[in-house]
Amino acid sequence: MTTYLLRGARPLGGAPTDILLGEGRVLALGAAAAEDDRAASAEVVEAAGLVALPGLVDLHTHLREPGREDAETVASGTRAAALGGFTAVHAMANTSPVADTAGVVEQVWRLGRDAGWVDVHPVGAVSVGLAGTHLAELGAMAHSAARVRVFSDDGHCVDDPVLMRRALEYVKAFDGVVAQHAQEPRLTQGAQMHEGVVSAEVGLAGWPAVAEEAIIARDVLLAEHVGSRLHVCHLSTAGSVEIIRWAKARGIPVTAEVTPHHLLLTDELARTYDPLYKVNPPLRTDADVEAVRAGLADGTIDIVATDHAPHTREDKDCEWAAAAFGMTGLETALAIVTSVMVAEGRMDWADVARVLSSAPARIGRIDQGEQAHGRPLEVGEPANLTLVDPEARWTVDPAGLASASANTPYGGRELVGQVRATFLRGRPTVLDGRAVEPVRDGEVLP
């Protein structure tokens, strides 16, 4: 296996240093890297000026396979993920069939392994068929080859409080976590966009902030009551940030994520009636965007997760109410965090590594062992690593993205920060900003 010498990279934005990768691990750092015997035969990657981050981990990805391979496949979605700097993604359960059995999660896991771009960790459904009535076989999924630790009915809220309580309790047996899509269903029947000044004017049915906040408030209290871990998916409102802040101050074991789009975009975009901006939870107001940025900066919000939601052209090239919810995000997530948080001075690169790698890996319980992610850039650790040009400005071209679907809301937008290389256990999946096709020869990829 080839060794790689990354010359002059800046770990977490710190002083330039050399990093030697080989045998799937970080072999040496600094002066020791260049002097290492194995460096002589290494392939050199000029990394001057590039920031080295631990490989990014997405806790919330829709890969659409099985069922909607016309929108995305495990192979196409994970290739996009690698180009976005990710080395691991959690694949959401709302596929067809639903990932509510050991069989389906193992299938998705194997498809990820075969594709070889990133490690795919399937999320298991909380309820059978995402129907919100019966617990799915959480234990079977946890003990399958896919070793599922994150359970979610994402796309649907586990709105029955008893089912939610049971799920929270049940996953304690294998240190799992329930990731809640917080959306009170009765308050959001037919909802199309954030309820407020813009929805009143454009006449689209409102999705009120309280429908998210009421569920989060209930769930943090349930988590406290039963002593279980709770994760809140894609929180989007200022009120949700306040509730999480309160819960953490009380010592409740809750974690929360925000998406890149909720860090950047607002409901004003719905005035275009362009369904590229239709997403669930919906884009909120300026005040909400400011609150989630502040919450991410002060640690109230633990992670950024993409909620990458590819959709076919026909599911977006229509009237707003007929369109699907969701937007792609794997290839733009890091650049958005760089643009709105780092370039604005609200976070440094260590914070980026925390919210996009170590914290999501810990929540997903993939931060230990040979296949660990989100580990520090230290000798002996798995060589999962991303090189980012922190100053590069680029304009998003939907046709130039690798996802099989083009429903990015950022077309034409200039962003700062570009992924130059990604390594998965020492093997480059991206070099010079281009995907490196995994070589197979019938062998299992490292």
Partner 1 sequence: MRHLLSAADLDRTTAIEVLDAAAQMAATQAREIKKLPTLRGRTVVNLFFEDSTRTRISFETAAKRLSADVINFAAKGSSVSKGESLKDTAQTLQAMGADAVVIRHPASGAPHRLAHSGWVGTSVVNAGDGTHQHPTQALLDAYTIRRHLTGTTANPDGVGNDLAGLRVAIVGDVLHSRVARSNVQLLHTLGAEVTLVSPPTLVPVGAEAWPCSISYHLDAVLADQQPDAIMMLRVQRERMGGDRTGATGFFPSPLEYTRSFGLDSRRLRMLPDHAIVLHPGPMNRGLEISAEAADSPRAVILEQVANGVAVRMAVLYLLLAQERETLA
- Residue (72 or 267) nearer to partner 1, CB: 267
Backbone φ, ψ for residue 225 (5° rounding): -65, -40
- Residue (175 or 286) nearer to partner 1, CB: 286
Backbone φ, ψ for residue 140 (5° rounding): -60, -40
Structure tokens that stand for 388 in this block:
């980012």
Structure tokens that stand for 52 in this block:
């080295």
- Nearest-angstrom CA–CA distance, 75 and 51: 27
Q: Does residue 66 have a cis bond before it (omega within 30 degrees)? A: yes
Residue 132 near partner 1 by CB under 8 A:
no
Q: Tell me whether strands 4-11 and 17-22 are parallel, antiparallel or unpaired.
A: antiparallel
- Residue (270 or 388) nearer to partner 1, CB: 270
* Closest C-alpha to 325, from 336, 310, 305: 310
DSSP class per residue in 106-159: HHHHHHHHHH-SSEEEEPBPSBGGG-SSSB--HHHHHTSTT---EE--TTS---
Residue 392 near partner 1 by CB under 8 A:
no
DSSP class per residue in 177-209: EEEE----TGGGTT--EE-SHHHHHHT--EE-H
| Of positions 201, 344, 378, 391, contacts partner 1 by CB under 8 A | 201
Q: Which stretch binds partner 1 (CB under 8 A): 65-73, 318-326, 331-339, 431-439?
A: 318-326
- Residue (320 or 394) nearer to partner 1, CB: 320
Active site (annotated) includes residue 159: no
| Of positions 197, 299, 344, 434, contacts partner 1 by CB under 8 A | 197
Residue 208 near partner 1 by CB under 8 A:
yes
Residue 190 near partner 1 by CB under 8 A:
no
| Of positions 74, 126, 198, 415, contacts partner 1 by CB under 8 A | 198
Residue 322 near partner 1 by CB under 8 A:
yes
Residue 358 near partner 1 by CB under 8 A:
no
Q: Tell me whether strands 119-122 and 303-304 are parallel, antiparallel or unpaired.
A: unpaired
Structure tokens that stand for 284 in this block:
């909120």
Residue 394 near partner 1 by CB under 8 A:
no
- Nearest-angstrom CA–CA distance, 58 and 373: 11
* 119, 267, 288, 307: the active-site residue: 307
Q: Number of residues in contact with partner 1, rule: CB under 8 A?
A: 24
Q: Fill in the per-residue mask, 225 to 264: x = in contact with partner 1 (CB under 8 A), - = not in contact.
A: ----------------------------------------
- Residue (272 or 395) nearer to partner 1, CB: 272
Number of Cβ within a 10 Å radius of residue 201: 10
> Which residues are at the interface with partner 1 (CB under 8 A)?
192, 195-206, 208, 272-274, 314, 317-322
Catalytic residues: 307
